[in-house]
Amino acid sequence: MTNDSQAKTTDEDIVVQSENLASKHIFEIIRREGEEELERPNASLFWSGVAAGLMISLSVLGEAIFRTYLPETDWAYLLENLGYSLGFLVVILGRMQLFTENTITTVLPVMNNPVKSMFLRLATLWAIVLFANVIGAFIVGSAFAYGSFIPEVLRPAITELSQHATGFAPFEGFQRAIPAGILVAAIVWMLPESEGFGFFVILTFTWLIAAGDFTHIVAGSVEMAYLMVQGLLPVGDAMFGFFLPVLAGNILGGTAIFALLAFGQVRRELP
């Protein structure tokens, strides 16, 4: 009887393991991750955010390298945008604090327990992470502009990419930021079910952000900083023409659209 019982249990475990995660299970995984993030010390959040702001610059650098060395063909644009995924791969797989990830990860615990203390903690985390991301972006943007470790041949491409990313009219930049916020939130939602294929999930959907010409607040902040420190982008244009509209669009896409829809589909299934 014992052997039969063990065999039955093993068969059931195999069936359970082979099943896809239900939406409520994905929600619970992300909610628990979000609670852990909300409980982290502010200093840890800050330094992780600075690291993310620094490393997301690999997206700008990678795209510039492709643009510089690829031949001028119709398909070069599609291949060039693979470079944009490099920074996101390092930041997301490296578990660094990226603001646009937090528009869903740390929001789900608040949606599940909407009390004042949770909202205050969420606001504090958002402020720290965004501030840290921007600091990292300015450090590396300044290094790109004045450091000697970037080959001179790459500077024209970095300048072109930066002027394009920050050159949208405010309302257009806001609209283009909404899909980017949705796509980053979708990456977070899909990773628990990716079963070792997280690299390709991140690669595919961040490539889509670049290929779709959508705007991202942190990667774009590197480009914004690169222009600002050289006097190529006035502070007012940077803040009101790029930063605030794109920030609002990313939050709208990641939180007000994706996170609310994710919560809505599981709300009545939660204990």
Q: What is the pLDDT of residues 179-213, one digit of tens each?
A: 999 999 999 999 988 888 999 999 999 999 999 99
What pLDDT digit, counting tens, does each position of 214-260 carry? 999 999 999 999 999 999 999 999 999 999 999 999 999 998 888 88
Per-domain residue ranges for the chain?
24-269
pLDDT tens-digit readout, 15-66: 345 457 788 888 888 989 999 999 999 999 999 999 999 999 999 999 999 9
Q: Write out the chain in H/E/C secondary structure.
A: CHHHHHHHHHHHHHHHHHCCCCHHHHHHHHHHHHHHHHHCCHHHHHHHHHHHHHHCHHHHHHHHHHHHHCCCCCCHHHHHHHHHHHHHHHHHHCCCCCCCHHHCCCHHHHHHCCCHHHHHHHHHHHHHHHHHHHHHHHHHHHHHHHCCCCCHHHHHHHHHHHHHHCCCCHHHHHHHHHHHHHHHHHHHHHHHHCCCCHHHHHHHHHHHHHHCCCCCHHHHHHHHHHHHCCCCCCHHHHHHHHHHHHHHHHHHHHHHHHHHHHHHHHHHHCC
Rounded to two decimals, the pTM is: 0.88
Task: Give domain 24-269's CATH architecture.
Answer: Up-down Bundle (1.20)
pLDDT digits (tens, 9 = 90+) for 104-133: 899 989 988 889 999 999 999 999 999 999
